[in-house]
Amino acid sequence: MKSLVLAEKPSVARELARVLGCTKTNKSYFEGNQHIVTWALGHLIELKMPENYDPKYKVWKLEELPIIPDKMGLKVIKQTSHQFKAIEHLAERKDVGEFIIATDAGREGELVARWILQRINWRKPIKRLWISSQTDRAIKDGFKNLKPGKQFEDLYESAVCRAEADWLIGLNVSRALTTKYKDPLSAGRVQTPTLAMILEREDEMNKFVPKDYWTIQAKVGSLSAEWEHKGEKRIFSREKAEEIQQKLSNKKAVLKSLDRKQKSDPQPMPYDLTELQRDANKRFGFSAKKTSNVLQGLYEQHKLVTYPRTDSRYLTTDMEATMADRLQGIMSGYKDEAKPALANNGKVQARRVFNNEKVTDHHAIIPTEERLHLADLSPDERKLYDLIVRRFLALFYPAYQYEVVHASFEVEGEALSARETNILELGFKKVLGKEEDDSSTQSLAHLEKGKSYSVGQVTINKKMTEAPLRLSESDILSKMEKFGLGTPATRAEIIERLISSEVVERKDGRFYSTKKGKQLIDLVNDELTSPELTAKWEKKLEEIAHGKGDAKAFKKRIREQTSLLVSEIKKSSKTYRAHNLTGSKCPECGEFMKERKTKEGRILVCSNSECSYRKHKDPKLSQRRCPQCHKRMEIHDGKAGAYFQCRRCNVVEKAEDKKQKGVTKREERKLKEKYAPSEANFGTSLGDLLKAALEDKE
């Protein structure tokens, strides 16, 4: 009997098939002597939509909310139904004896597979491939040590609870807001408190009143010292600052104390996903979404890093034996840094990194044993890989050790202090890359306790308190992690959803609320804006995933919560004005038009939800390039049919011209890029792509 292996996407299936020796290729699977490897395309199954329960829900009406099915049903996603049918047919084969789940080893990956199994009514044994890297060795070891499917049923139950909660809360609240206020308004259990945090920071900025303050610096002998009082160096009165300045000038400073303290900073732990997203945002300006995408390529395509969507920064004890192999893997790009660690037999100095109790589903992100070929990586992949490798290398180096010398002087009852930092052991900072020099430019070695020193020039510096900055992506990720909003795997998507729904804008790496966002947060239920509720739910989901929670009680509570939230919106007396309403009226129904930004330019749409009138405000840009300036040409519908026009060069081309010419190799490649952007079109022929292109133009 053969094992039917389900991967989450075609590229992973291809790698599994290669390692398992499945050489027979079909458009929807690979087959070998012992295994048949097929794939999902992300989710193939989803929760039924309201109209699947009753056609009346196709029209959104406030009075019909909340929509709370007694039992949530599943349906096949229409766009990828061909692949679901292929899996269904494979599952019915008489020579298939077991099902191996090889989707991503996490909550969502489990849901992808289990919903397919539920839909095909699978009754034979289930096993689970649970691996943390995509190297050949990891795949082979994983298939030798398959886990029983029963071990992951709690994880699946947690995933179902999460999906149903998002459907019930998100769909009902969004429909209630949209129908009541007649504008597309989206809310959810994670995105709404995240929006609230962005607005809270803006509120702090608006309420902020800057204050003048002064600091005092004085020359004590050859040293530079600062005035301070009980640790405070700011003086909020100019008169007071000038009074102290007069008091210090041309006086004698007596050294009251000279303290030397040796300090040590431990090696930083390897990255989890959220910490890596934060650092990539600070260092390179990467969005969380971009970091996730680049990281997925390093994991899946290049096989250079371990599983990305992890919330742990620790390693399991059995991984200690793999450290030398991982160091060998990175040698081609990090010879100088890795050589000392290998000379020490790959022994990790940061022993605390090995902690089984702090590893949940997956360990920290570290390099695999795969041999590094830097030339194969894009510039963005190199940047991210470099962060991961240097954090990993830091584990093999000693702690950073330094000495802080603190001198305290007394002058006429006032205190002056000077500091010196001496590096004793650079340790892990040798390999972390760009680091600021912590060593001091002044030396306190010549000072003697009780001795007097002349006070030279005393300078007053005027400064001003600064308002808090708008939140960066790194800030938002930190806050989401602090309050338990979402998971490492979902936080990037939540941020992007806030942008696409036009409630926030990303400008120069910072987040700004929009008029729509400010109004929305006022309309949404107070309970949904608070991170405490969502954090509580996430904790419950984690408990369910580890067999310590009650899934039935969770689902019941979510249903009660949904009814309450919708009821509050229905009773609300708050008002709303669409932020993008224009002065022009719809020629069909007379309602005011709204302006929206799309990839094709600005469009005007009727504000009446029952009217479908829309028109382009800007000319629609085509993929056709001007033969002179190579800019994208506008596409217009004329009396003689469609035509392309370049305003800049005044070039006009008929739409038919290009069809009459053959398809060049370059055009063929462009077609494939445009019409096969995802792995949903895996195996699609050029003929199908051309057909799709022509249909799109029509």
List phi, psi (to 5°) of 99: -115, 125
Q: What is the dihedral of CA 348, 351, 352, 356, to 10 degrees?
A: 80
Which letter does DSSP use for residue 5 in this model?
Answer: E
Residue 499 sits at φ, ψ, to 5 deg, of -70, -45
The span from the CA of 259 to the CA of 692, in Å, is 76
Tokens 């308004």, residue? 185
Residues 7 and 102: beta-carbon distance below 8 Å = yes
Q: How far apart are CA 123 and CA 95, in angstroms?
A: 14
Answer yes or no: are the C-beta atoms of 477 and 274 closer than 8 Å: yes
Single out the residue of 319, 307, 251 nearest to residue 456, CA to CA.
251
DSSP at 596: E
Residue 62: phi, psi to the nearest 5? -60, -40
The runs of H, that is alpha helices, within 572-682 are 657-660, 665-675
Please list, residue by residue across 600-627, b when 16 or more beta carbons sit within 10 angstroms of its beta carbon and e when fewer do.
eeebbbbbbeeeeeeeeeeeebbebebe
Query: 3-class SS at 637?
Result: strand
If we measure between CA atoms, which residue out of 658, 657, 634 comes closest to residue 645? 634
- Give the type of residue at 382: R
Place of tokens 């020579």: 95
Burial of 537: CB neighbours in 10 Å, binned 0-12, 13-18, 19+: buried
b/e per residue, 496-530, with b = 16+ CB within 10 A? Answer: ebbeebbbbeeeeeebebbebbebbbebbbebbbe
Active site residues: 307
